[in-house]
Amino acid sequence: MTLRTTLIDVEELAALAPDEVLIVDCRFDLMAPGTGQRDVGKGERDYREGHIPGAVYASLDADLSDLSRKAEGLGRHPLPREEAFSHVLSRWGWREGTQIVCYDAASGSLAAARLWWLLRLAGIPGVAVLDGGYPAWVGAGKPVESGDVHRTPRPVSLHFDASLYTVDHASLRADPERLLLDARAVPRYRGEVEPIDPVGGHVPGALNRPFSENLRDDGRFKRADVLHKEFEAVLGTHSPQDVVHMCGSGVTACHNLLAMEHAGLTGSRLYAPSWSGWVSDASRPVAKGSEPG
């Protein structure tokens, strides 16, 4: 089996045998995240009510982030530590060479894109996001099941190759060649509204590429050639390796990174702390308006 590394469609996923794939449901509602084991968030409740057969559940807060690190200035969704993420993969029973497919409820596949990127950070290339997410699966009349899925744990030890894929505060400010792309909606980028973070606006010099522009009207990704043309227009003379993606907390930025990889524009990186991490230090400059400052 040829491993998929960016997107996979419903029919391709349905054709895979259960022992060929690890399916991960990443549904998560930022407005209803839950507070702990006894108060699970809306995404996990939805998962238990119905999910793709065999899918395990991934919580953006508990599995794909380490919220205890917020005080370190790493944004609202700091990256998990290697040991903790290794434990997550162990709990899911992942084994090397298995195709991983992740999905969520939103047409943008936001948390799923975060998991896709984390797995790449850990050196696992065989991971793809289900194009159109859970709505596409249900809309195609495919089967669903309810309850929790428990797989047999396997020992896993992962290492994040952060130097290749991430950018920290210091290197972001020190690199004059980089092109910073902000994936947030236009009003948040401009600083006209800010519903989550304490300060509105954007990092001086950043360009705005809302992640929603990667999608067609039906919630699926645009064709690779269309995305290639659109991103090239944004990049100008910059190479894909010059691009650093950001958003509010390092989640939706992964959507733009996924779109570029799908379009064949490889090698861009993520500023994981993103806007929430940037404004954690009041001495950092803030720009507002439609033009990069």
Confidence of residue 293 (pLDDT cuts 50, 70, 90): very low
Helix ranges (H only) for the chain are 10-14, 42-49, 82-91, 110-121, 133-139, 162-165, 169-174, 186-190, 224-235, 253-262, 274-278
Quick one: pLDDT at residue 201?
97
Q: What is the percent of the chain where pLDDT is above 90?
A: 82
What are the CA-CA distances from residue 35 to residues 26, 58, 119, 124 (Å)? 17, 15, 26, 30
Higher-pLDDT residue of 63, 174: 63
Q: What is the percent of the chain where pLDDT is above 70?
A: 94
**Dihedral pair phi/psi, residue 8, rounded to 5°:** -140, 145
CA nearest to 108, candidates 262, 274, 256, 209: 256
**Quick check: helix, strand or coil at residue 43?**
helix
Confidence of residue 34 (pLDDT cuts 50, 70, 90): low
Is 247 a catalytic site residue? yes
Question: Is the per-residue pLDDT at 55 higher than 80?
Answer: yes
Higher-pLDDT residue of 72, 292: 72
Rounded to an integer, what distance in angstroms lies between the CA atom of residue 276 and that of residue 77? 9
Domain positions in the chain are: 7-161, 166-278
14-23, 120-129, 167-176, 259-268 — which is least confidently predicted? 167-176
Correct CATH for 7-161 of 3.40.50.280, 3.90.1170.50, 3.40.250.10, 3.40.630.10: 3.40.250.10
What integer is the mean pLDDT of 265-279?
95
Quick one: pLDDT at residue 68?
92
Confidence of residue 134 (pLDDT cuts 50, 70, 90): very high
Higher-pLDDT residue of 38, 167: 167
Query: For the whole model, what pTM was predicted?
Result: 0.94
Question: Is the per-residue pLDDT at 166 higher than 90?
Answer: no
CA nearest to 286, candidates 217, 199, 214: 199
Question: Is the per-residue pLDDT at 37 higher than 70?
Answer: no
Question: Is the per-residue pLDDT at 100 higher than 60?
Answer: yes
What integer is the mean pLDDT of 52-76?
94
Instruction: Decide whether 7-161 matches 166-278 in CATH topology.
Output: yes
CATH number of 166-278: 3.40.250.10
Rounded to an integer, what distance in angstroms lies between the CA atom of residue 87 and that of residue 90? 5
What integer is the mean pLDDT of 59-65?
95
